[in-house]
């Protein structure tokens, strides 16, 4: 018993010394935690107010989908950190989806997007794919442009934003401008207001190597890894979800997709001959986790406690699992503190009128007088 206590005290001293050494080293070289490459506050973004306001109205407008039944916000709901509380995203009416809806807070700070990281150019391209993909919003952008042009409010807002008359290209610019406003604010971690338990949890986070993948201001290395997350077989057993998966896999050129019973992940980017990168997914950001449950690309982990337990066990079973995955052997106290640290990375809910369009939309388009002679 005495030996166990001595061992525990020694370990705590080692953690404290390591943490102090890290802080001192940053101070000596004039580097803040934000600049250390491990973590830090997010930088401020320059935002055009008129363009962002236009993007906000577009984001919540169901007329941007093929049957005018869903909007971007139908799958990215403000009350859930611009994600959903479902394991699998709802998808376009008439089918389901095969992945968990990613929270959009801090999306404008990313370099790559989507669980498989297949889009790494800009949010303009991401917006276009989300609007036009048949299992997501299923919209022909030529029709979308005509719908927007028939709304006098949009004509006014596009002009005020400096875009001229409404166009699909401007829609793809305005929505990303709005997404810039969805940046974390008020997180205890950023404010230097972490609880004692969260501070201890940060030491566990660093000591156990979590920071090796969850680094930088977004707590993500922006790379793809296989951690052995179990498959969500609702993707393959529910025809509504499976047809979305089939459409995706076929378009991405995944071989034998009709018989495939796993999500290929970032394999769609680099189709290695040995398929060793099958089932790899981009390291998710750890910010705003308290708002975006359930977790992982397929929503298979319901709580932060489940996530910590998953990693403590060394991840799941997979032939392609990352070699860095190993049991962490955390005590119950360490696990609890780590959860508190993860919670400290979440800030205010962005659900007020600054972020959510609340003025409504017209039930019908107004009649255009003498429409034959009006310029389109």
**pLDDT of 33:** 46
In-domain check, residue 337: yes
The DSSP result for 187-232, as a single string, is -HHHHT---HHHHHHHHHHHHTTGGGTS-TTTT--S-EE---PPP-
Span 233-243, average pLDDT: 97
**pLDDT of 376:** 67
Does residue 7 register a pLDDT over 60?
no
Does residue 12 register a pLDDT over 90?
no
**pLDDT of 17:** 42
Clarify whether residues 62 and 148 are in a common domain.
yes
Clarify whether residues 151 and 227 are in a common domain.
no
In this predicted model, what pLDDT tens digit does every residue of 304-313 receive, in sequence order? 999 999 999 9
In-domain check, residue 23: no
Structural domain for 213, as ranges: 188-343
pLDDT category at 169 given cuts 50, 70, 90 is very high
Say how far apart CA 356 and CA 351 lie, in whole Å: 6
**pLDDT of 39:** 62
Does residue 18 register a pLDDT over 90?
no
**pLDDT of 35:** 38
Clarify whether residues 244 and 129 are in a common domain.
no
Clarify whether residues 56 and 152 are in a common domain.
yes
In-domain check, residue 33: no
In this predicted model, what pLDDT tens digit does every residue of 114-156 receive, in sequence order? 999 999 999 999 999 999 999 999 999 999 999 999 999 999 9
Does residue 32 register a pLDDT over 60?
no
Clarify whether residues 164 and 283 are in a common domain.
no
Q: Which of 161, 184, 207 is the last residue of a domain?
A: 184
Clarify whether residues 231 and 138 are in a common domain.
no
**pLDDT of 198:** 98
CB neighbour list of residue 21: distance below 8 Å, 6 or more residues apart: none
In this predicted model, what pLDDT tens digit does every residue of 215-230 receive, in sequence order? 999 999 999 999 999 9
Does residue 291 register a pLDDT over 90?
yes
In-domain check, residue 374: no
Say how far apart CA 259 and CA 256 lie, in whole Å: 6
Clarify whether residues 73 and 88 are in a common domain.
yes
Q: Which of 184, 216, 238 is the last residue of a domain?
A: 184
Does residue 20 register a pLDDT over 90?
no
In-domain check, residue 42: no
Say how far apart CA 323 and CA 227 lie, in whole Å: 9
Span 256-274, average pLDDT: 96
Q: Which of 140, 169, 184 is the last residue of a domain?
A: 184
Clarify whether residues 245 and 132 are in a common domain.
no
Clarify whether residues 330 and 193 are in a common domain.
yes
Span 52-72, average pLDDT: 97
In this predicted model, what pLDDT tens digit does every residue of 295-349 receive, in sequence order? 999 999 999 999 999 999 999 999 999 999 999 999 999 999 999 999 999 999 9
Does residue 246 register a pLDDT over 70?
yes
Clarify whether residues 196 and 178 are in a common domain.
no
Query: pTM of the predicted model, to two decimals?
Result: 0.88
In-domain check, residue 293: yes
CATH number at residue 220: 1.10.760.10
**pLDDT of 10:** 46
In-domain check, residue 73: yes
Clarify whether residues 193 and 338 are in a common domain.
yes
The domain total for the chain is: 2
Say how far apart CA 290 and CA 294 lie, in whole Å: 10
Q: DSSP alpha helices (H): ranges in 252-323?
A: 304-312
Clarify whether residues 210 and 146 are in a common domain.
no
**pLDDT of 30:** 32
In-domain check, residue 362: no
């Amino acid at each position: 018993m005495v030996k166990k206590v001595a061992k525990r005290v020694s370990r705590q001293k080692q953690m404290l010394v390591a943490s102090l050494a890290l802080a001192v080293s940053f101070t000596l070289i004039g580097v803040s935690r934000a600049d250390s490459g491990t973590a830090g506050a997010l930088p401020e973004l320059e935002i055009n107010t008129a363009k962002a306001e236009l993007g906000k109205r577009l984001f919540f407008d169901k007329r941007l989908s093929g049957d005018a039944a869903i909007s971007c916000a139908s799958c990215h709901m403000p009350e859930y950190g611009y994600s959903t509380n479902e394991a699998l995203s709802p998808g376009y009416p008439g089918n389901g989806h095969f992945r968990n809806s990613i929270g959009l807070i801090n999306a404008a700070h990313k370099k790559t997007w989507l669980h498989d990281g297949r889009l790494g150019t800009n949010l303009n391209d991401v917006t276009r794919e989300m609007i036009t993909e048949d299992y997501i919003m299923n919209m022909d952008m030529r029709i979308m442009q005509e719908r927007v042009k028939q709304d006098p409010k949009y004509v006014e807002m596009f002009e005020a934003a400096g875009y001229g008359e409404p166009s699909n290209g401007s829609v793809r610019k305005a929505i990303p401008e709005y997404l810039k406003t969805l940046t974390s604010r008020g997180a205890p971690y950023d404010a230097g207001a972490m609880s004692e338990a969260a501070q201890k949890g940060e030491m566990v986070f660093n000591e156990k190597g979590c920071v090796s993948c969850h680094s930088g201001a977004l707590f993500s290395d922006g790379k793809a890894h296989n951690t052995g997350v179990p498959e969500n077989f609702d993707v393959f057993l529910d025809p509504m979800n499976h047809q979305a998966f089939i459409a995706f896999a076929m378009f991405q050129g995944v071989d034998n997709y009709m018989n495939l019973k796993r999500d290929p992940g970032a394999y769609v980017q680099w189709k290695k001959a040995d398929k060793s990168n099958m089932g790899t997914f981009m390291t998710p950001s750890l910010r705003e986790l308290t708002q975006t449950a359930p977790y992982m690309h397929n929503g298979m982990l319901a709580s932060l406690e489940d996530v910590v337990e998953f990693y403590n066990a060394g991840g799941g079973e997979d032939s392609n699992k990352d070699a860095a995955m190993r049991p962490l052997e955390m005590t119950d106290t360490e696990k609890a503190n780590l959860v508190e640290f993860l919670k400290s990375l979440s800030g205010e809910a962005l659900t007020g009128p600054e972020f959510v369009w609340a003025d409504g939309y017209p039930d019908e388009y107004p009649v255009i007088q003498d429409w034959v002679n009006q310029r389109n």
